[in-house]
Structure 1
Amino acid sequence: MAAPSRNTCGTRERSILDRVPPLLTDLYQFTMAYAYWRAGRHQDSAVFELFFRENPFCGSFSLFAGLNDCLTFLRSFHFTDEDVVFLRSVLPPATDPAFFQFLRGLDCSGVTLHSVPEGTVVFAREPLMEVAGPLAVVQLLETSLLCLVNYASLVCSNAARFRLACGPRRKLLEMGLRRAQGPDGGLTASRYSYIGGFDLTSNVQAGLLFGVPVAGTMAHSYVTSFTSLEEVWPRTLVTVNQDHDPVDLISLTKGWLGRVCELLGAEPGKIHEGELAAFLSYAIAYPQNFLPVIDSYSVTCSGLLNFCAVALALCELGYRPMGVRLDSGDLCKQSVDVRGVLRLCSEHFSISAFDSLIIVGTNNISEQTMVELNTKENEIDVFGVGTHLVTCTKQPSLGCVYKLVEARGRPRMKISEDPEKSTVPGRKAVYRLVDADGHPFLDLLCLALESPPEAGRPLSCHPLGGGSTSLSVTPAQVICLRQEMFTKGQVTQPLSSAAETKAQVQDSLQSLHPRHKRLQEPDSYTVALSETLHTLVTDLRRASTNKSNVVLAN
């Protein structure tokens, strides 16, 4: 698929700016910014990191998404007069009026963002983004950046798991807009489901903004809106080459319906006339895109017979019908039965087009049902997934956080009674160590000023959460994960299209060892600290304990 046009990119950027203005944040960001300003600390240098604490869906990995939106947000970050007027009304009356003039002049020209590339496989507790700049500004960015990354990464990871459960052969259609948490949730889900591995979306706006391929035909309401063949209008259809007079499609289809019923030993009296009328009407409107839902009444007694009759009539006129959709019952068994009938028609009537008809399965499909479906014999070519994909029912939040790791050039560390909530201090570099087979096996966090690890050279490190445990490893290859993405008010890397990010996702997942991609009970992936960084963590913990003892003694 081609990259979005300039016009599409502009539309996408406007959409992001409209949805994520600088006031889309928590009020306490402004109260903290004011307190920094009041204390004269608003220009102090500060560094924050964005990360999540646990891999989602009981898996071993996540995917990093939302970076492009973050960069667009940073590039255009500023407060309007209208914003400032509103902030005056919600901040305490004692707020110094000069603070609002300060806000009016703020932008991100002093902010630098380093990040893992969007679409990269990432793991718990490693920093995905580093945001550095004046303290008041980078504090104000927190909620917006978390909002842009949290759900995008979660739904992208969910989509990747559906793709792993489905396997590479079948196509996946995202169709969750009507079940999503509001318009923005639906739009974000469509975009990042595609990036995570889905092939198509039913969301037309996602097609416009992000270039995601769009698909869809008819719902049950269309079928049930018809009651008799008298409602079909027009009744005729020209051949695909338009080399004959228009043909009465109803009469032609009735002839085929009799032959199909005879072939299958079906009872014509059980066929629903309204359903046949709906199929005919739709076929006349879209003879090259005929793919009806066939379970409005009975698949075997009516829907499949009506489809075959109309599809055979279309083939006689030179058109190629697309296939059928199943939306209820035992999808596996029904798909096998449907495929058997299609093959029988192909052989008996010598219609080769019936060999390439597709079967779409849609019926509240979850990751678990997808896994179960793939353990059974089935003939489904496309799975349509909605609710369980876009709402991430297995885990509704990724839980990304944004924590201070350096202020005034000195490392900062949150030391909590809950070890999982402690942070890793200091500005860092992030390296991915790769084994001789090309699989990543460990991500190493180092202080930014450390020399990078070298391929073929042993190093000692400390797995996160492993206490004082030391590990010796020798990488065959070292990849630097963190790149500068934004500085001096400018995006420093090209913004990638959805299709380009989708390719990055697949490349990153392809390199990951299968044991880390298992949907059930995967092997844990190791994230570790360098010796120098581990020493810093230990020293800061010890210093914090000593200070606490001094305070208590006094």
Structure 2
Amino acid sequence: MTSLLNYDMPLSEQLNVSSADYSLLTDLYQLTMAACYKGENIDQKRASFELFARKLPEGFNYLIAMGLSQALEYLEKFSFNQTQIEALQETGIFASAPQQFWSLLAEGKFTGDVWAIPEGTAVFALEPLLRIEAPLWQAQLVETYLLNCLNYQTLIATRAARSRDVAGEKTTLLEFGTRRAFSPQASLWAARAALAGGLDATSNVLAALQLGEKPSGTMAHALVMALCALEGSEEKAFSAFHQYFPGAPLLIDTYDTIAAARKLAAKVKAGEINLTGIRLDSGDLVALSKQVKEILPDTLIFASGDIDEWEIARLKQNNAQIDGYGIGTRLVTGKPVNGVYKLVEIEGIPVMKKSSGKVSYPGRKQIFREFVNGELKADTLGLVSENYPNRQPLLKLFMKDGKRLEPQETIKTIRNRTTASVVSLPAQVRNLDSLSSMSVDISSSLQELINQTNRDSN
């Protein structure tokens, strides 16, 4: 068969993805189901799907919704070109599919509505981050990409927000996760979500420049080792780097951390160097930071190396003298957000999944949030037809008939929303050592619909 890919190209190029490929970046069963819908002549039936997490990752009391911007961009560009359609046809998988399926793909665009929680908003288990209302075939096909986009960025934003909450507003937090992210694309999403979740800057140059931010970083052990070997001393390495980047922190734990600090202190005292900061990447960070602070009292100390929110909390509890952190591996990896995407209504008929341990609630839903003196007191999961005058509805209309209604928000706007959202949470929900999440109330109308749908499906 003729491939969509050019096998004369290196494999690395074959596996790159562009926006033109977005519609094919899906699971096969999305396409086979869409073909079946067409064959049964139900492809244009109005369907509503909701994306939510049944439960939070272990050790998490809340999530910070993130990834909506990229989801909307994907939906705006959703389409299939002739080359892609021919490649699908040549697989042979669709040999028995209705011929009209190919016309559906060739002419199709996303024409639905998107209701979603604004990025940077705290959410809890069972609360929809997003709802798609669209012709059935469209709402079905977009599932895989939306889950990939929102699940990953929500994880990163949540961990970033927790790190910021523990570290405090004055502590510098840098995103260093590019080399550990699960792909080059993931590294860009991780950087964006980390900044929107509360971190100050990213070392990912492409992500920073695309977002209109300034990248931030220090230096690696390799530079110290190379210049030390070729020019005779660690001090020469420090002097050379500062000649070209006078404001950058110096990495001082390549050999003997305390000895390096003392040598730098002598240079500072002699007026040979204006040292703004140093970085520690290994060893006992509590003890080392205290010793270095005594030697270099006016120098900022940054720490990196398997840092996460729990490690920041531990270091603070032990009075480590650290002014900022580089957070990498544990930020961009770890326990996933296991969001799911479930059909809740078709042609006005509420539907629900009843599988053991995987129940989903029927009907199009809204989250009604209650604040008392600025603190979140209660969330009620209800139906879109309900109204609670003293509560804030969280899901907002972001896309109508396939057209975005508002311009893309800035990272600063989302970061500010994240900060305000976390601050509004009760203390026990923000506490890393607590297993106390917010309980989400089910409205009487939703409960009645659940009961009725259960009866109707028996």
Matched-pair contact (CA < 8 Å) for 2:160–2:199 = yes
Matching residue's letter, 2:234: E
* In structure 1, C-alpha distance between the alignment counterparts of 2:307 and 2:175, rounded to whole Å: 11
1:489 positional shift = 2.2
* In structure 2, C-alpha distance between the alignment counterparts of 1:118 and 1:366, rounded to whole Å: 22
Structure 2 residue aligned with 1:305: 262
1:125 positional shift = 0.3
| Equivalent in 231, 241, 244 of residue 285 of structure 1 | 244
Matched-pair contact (CA < 8 Å) for 1:56–1:154 = no
* In structure 2, C-alpha distance between the alignment counterparts of 1:431 and 1:503, rounded to whole Å: 21
Structure 1 residue aligned with 2:312: 370
* In structure 2, C-alpha distance between the alignment counterparts of 1:278 and 1:295, rounded to whole Å: 13
Say whether residues 1:380 and 2:322 are aligned partners. Answer: yes
1:295 positional shift = 1.2
Say whether residues 1:403 and 2:404 are aligned partners. Answer: no
| Equivalent in 331, 346, 351 of residue 389 of structure 1 | 331
Structure 2 residue aligned with 1:413: 352
Name the one with the larger helix percent.
1
What is the 5 A alignment of 1:102-141?
102-109=104-111, 111-141=112-142
1:84-115 superposed Cα distances (whole Å, 9 cap, x missing partner): 11111233322333321221100012x01111
Matched-pair contact (CA < 8 Å) for 1:431–1:443 = yes
Gaps of 5+ in 1: 1-14, 232-272, 344-354, 456-477, 546-554
Matched-pair contact (CA < 8 Å) for 2:124–2:437 = no
Matching residue's letter, 2:36: A
1:413 positional shift = 1.0
3-state SS of the aligned residue for 2:437? coil
Matched-pair contact (CA < 8 Å) for 2:376–2:425 = yes
Matched-pair contact (CA < 8 Å) for 1:16–1:69 = no
Structure 2 residue aligned with 1:449: 385
1:166 positional shift = 2.1
Question: TM (normalized to structure 2)?
Answer: 0.92
1:140 positional shift = 0.7
1:363 positional shift = 2.2
1:169 positional shift = 2.7
1:46 positional shift = 0.8
3-state SS of the aligned residue for 1:32? helix
1:128 positional shift = 1.4
Gaps of 5+ in 2: 1-15
1:171-208 superposed Cα distances (whole Å, 9 cap, x missing partner): 11111111221211222111111111111211111111
* In structure 1, C-alpha distance between the alignment counterparts of 2:439 and 2:248, rounded to whole Å: 50
Matching residue's letter, 1:432: R
Structure 2 residue aligned with 1:422: 359
Residues 1:151 and 1:81: Cα distance change in structure 2 (over 3 Å):
same
3-state SS of the aligned residue for 1:433? strand
Matched-pair contact (CA < 8 Å) for 1:199–1:213 = no
What is the 5 A alignment of 1:25-424?
25-90=26-91, 91-109=93-111, 111-227=112-228, 231=231, 273-286=232-245, 288-301=246-259, 303-313=260-270, 315=271, 320-343=274-297, 355=298, 357-391=299-333, 393=334, 395=335, 397-418=336-357, 421-424=358-361
* In structure 2, C-alpha distance between the alignment counterparts of 1:290 and 1:147, rounded to whole Å: 36
Residues 1:208 and 1:182: Cα distance change in structure 2 (over 3 Å):
same
Residues 1:25 and 1:504: Cα distance change in structure 2 (over 3 Å):
same
1:200-254 superposed Cα distances (whole Å, 9 cap, x missing partner): 21111111112343111211111111247x83xxxxxxxxxxxxxxxxxxxxxxx
* In structure 2, C-alpha distance between the alignment counterparts of 1:155 and 1:296, rounded to whole Å: 30
Matched-pair contact (CA < 8 Å) for 1:194–1:212 = no
* In structure 1, C-alpha distance between the alignment counterparts of 2:385 and 2:400, rounded to whole Å: 19
3-state SS of the aligned residue for 2:253? coil
| Equivalent in 398, 407, 424 of residue 485 of structure 1 | 398
Question: TM (normalized to structure 1)?
Answer: 0.76
Q: Please list every run of at least 4 consecutive aligned residues from structure 1 whose deviation after the TM superposition is greater than 3 angstroms.
A: 309-313
1:40-68 superposed Cα distances (whole Å, 9 cap, x missing partner): 11111111111011122422210110001
Residues 1:533 and 1:184: Cα distance change in structure 2 (over 3 Å):
same
3-state SS of the aligned residue for 2:50? strand
Residues 1:443 and 1:66: Cα distance change in structure 2 (over 3 Å):
same
1:414-438 superposed Cα distances (whole Å, 9 cap, x missing partner): 11232xx111111222211122x22
Q: RMSD value over aligned CA atoms? A: 1.9
3-state SS of the aligned residue for 2:51? strand
Residues 1:398 and 1:386: Cα distance change in structure 2 (over 3 Å):
same
Residues 1:17 and 1:70: Cα distance change in structure 2 (over 3 Å):
farther
* In structure 2, C-alpha distance between the alignment counterparts of 1:176 and 1:20, rounded to whole Å: 26
* In structure 1, C-alpha distance between the alignment counterparts of 2:20 and 2:108, rounded to whole Å: 20
* In structure 2, C-alpha distance between the alignment counterparts of 1:341 and 1:58, rounded to whole Å: 38
* In structure 1, C-alpha distance between the alignment counterparts of 2:456 and 2:403, rounded to whole Å: 39
3-state SS of the aligned residue for 2:95? coil
Matched-pair contact (CA < 8 Å) for 1:84–1:100 = yes
Matching residue's letter, 2:215: V
Say whether residues 1:433 and 2:390 are aligned partners. Answer: no
3-state SS of the aligned residue for 2:397? strand
Matched-pair contact (CA < 8 Å) for 1:360–1:384 = yes
3-state SS of the aligned residue for 1:214? coil
